[in-house]
Amino acid sequence: MVQGPVDVDLIIRGPREILTLPRVVRRKADRGSLGIIEDGAIAVSRGVVVAIGSEDEILRRYRAKMYIDATGYIATPGLVDSHTHLLYSGSREDERELILGGISYTEILGRGGGILRTMRHTSSVDREILISSLRERLDEMLESGVTTVEIKTGYGIDIESELRLVETLAYAARNSTINIVSTLLAHVPLPNIDFKAFLDGFERILIPRALELGYRYIDVFCDKGAFSPSEARAILAAGKSRGLIPRIHADEFSYIGCSDVGLELSASSLDHLNHTPIEIVDRISTIDSTAVLAPSTAIATVGRKPPSRELLERGAIIAIATDHSPSLMNLDMVATIDLAVNYLSLPPVNAIAAATVNAAHSLGLRGLVGSLVEGSKADIVLWAQPSYRWFGYLMRRSPIACVIKDGVLVKNIRGCEIQR
């Protein structure tokens, strides 16, 4: 008996390239690393990819309630932004002018500006304002192809204010179209509280509550003007001993041993790395931790490029992130990919891997997001460009045609043709 086609919810037909990105990418990659299927199709049911293959094969095996004609486009997994500070209130555009005038960020922080300024403002506004602002930023990110985002706390001026942010972020994560991965962040030492008292509050109040609310990660900003390596070690170890996975802001403005702490504690990611010495780069390149690089922050705030080529050539797992914060409000993951190619000197194949499968790896989500394989979430971006080689080459307002989240068309920017 001949079996008829299987009913599914959606078929995306006709992309000239489907970038499946089935595995983490190390070193300079090639087409094989992307898992490219030419002139293919994707079948989706209940928000999950059920099959990918040639268009003829998929149309023979499956019948859909809805078809999206992606002829001439390329398809990638939804983008994954693995380092952001999206939960805050206020702005610091005047400090951008100070930095452009030659004043360093660490000097601004030492004057009580920077992060401390945002802490004061964020801690003074209503929760509803924080949630509304976060929703607006997330919608902008969705339009730039981001379907999974890591968001950190860290802008509470005291333990009580930080607890409110922990709870607010958890609420937002439960009510968001975009997947939110929540991270408890120790940002900078709090005013008028010594480290022992701060650590006590972090251990007794913030870590237990974060775990109750489903947080997976703990992070610390380790640098001059922020937490010292010994302080960072104590904070991360406290979280790790209770089940939170360490991440670390390391070597952004100086090298004082912060990346060493990340390596010692097997952090899932070591982020920024602008001042990381080559011997630490060598060590990072041999392990499964991810080097998360923030090119827009490197240009605008730090003024120093991270060792991206050295990491690439030695085989590190590299991810890229917007690092959105009130210091630089980057909500554009497409522009971040462009910067990865043209500033960090990553080949296009590595840049798109850094924004998808490698970023998902850093968040412990590989196979679920950041790839298009059977059983992965049907988070898909269709790009109005002829090839993956055009990442970083075609620079226009938005090359994205449409964004699909959990099998649902959520952004139709260039009028993707829908057939029912």
Q: Which CATH class name applies to 80-362?
A: alpha beta
pLDDT the model gives residue 88: 97
- Whether 263 has a pLDDT exceeding 90, the answer reads yes
pLDDT the model gives residue 2: 52
Considering the four listed CATH numbers 3.90.470.20, 2.30.40.10, 2.60.120.10, 3.30.980.20, the one that applies to the domain covering 6-78+371-419 is: 2.30.40.10
Q: Give 108's pLDDT tier (boundaries 50, 70, 90).
A: confident
Residue 314: count other Cβ atoms within 10 Å of its Cβ. Answer: 17
Q: Higher confidence at residue 191 or residue 159?
A: 159
Q: Give 96's pLDDT tier (boundaries 50, 70, 90).
A: confident
Q: Give 104's pLDDT tier (boundaries 50, 70, 90).
A: confident
- Whether 102 has a pLDDT exceeding 90, the answer reads no
> How many whole angstroms separate alpha carbon 201 and alpha carbon 163?
10
Residues 6+ apart with CB under 8 A from 368: 360, 376, 377
pLDDT tens column, 47-58:
999 999 999 999
> How many whole angstroms separate alpha carbon 228 and alpha carbon 297?
21
Decide: helix, strand or coil at residue 39. Answer: coil
- Whether 1 has a pLDDT exceeding 60, the answer reads no
pTM: 0.96
pLDDT the model gives residue 390: 95
Mean of the pLDDT values across residues 25-44? 92
Compute the mean pLDDT over every residue in the chain, rounded to the nearest whole number: 95
Residue with tokens 């917007």: 322
Mean of the pLDDT values across residues 402-413? 97
> How many whole angstroms separate alpha carbon 283 and alpha carbon 231?
22
pLDDT tens column, 127-182:
999 999 999 999 999 999 999 999 999 999 999 999 999 999 999 999 999 999 99
Mean of the pLDDT values across residues 80-107? 90
DSSP state of 285: T
Question: What is the percent of the chain with per-residue pLDDT over 90, rounded to a whole number?
Answer: 87
Q: Where are the domains of the chain?
A: 6-78+371-419, 80-362
pLDDT the model gives residue 206: 98
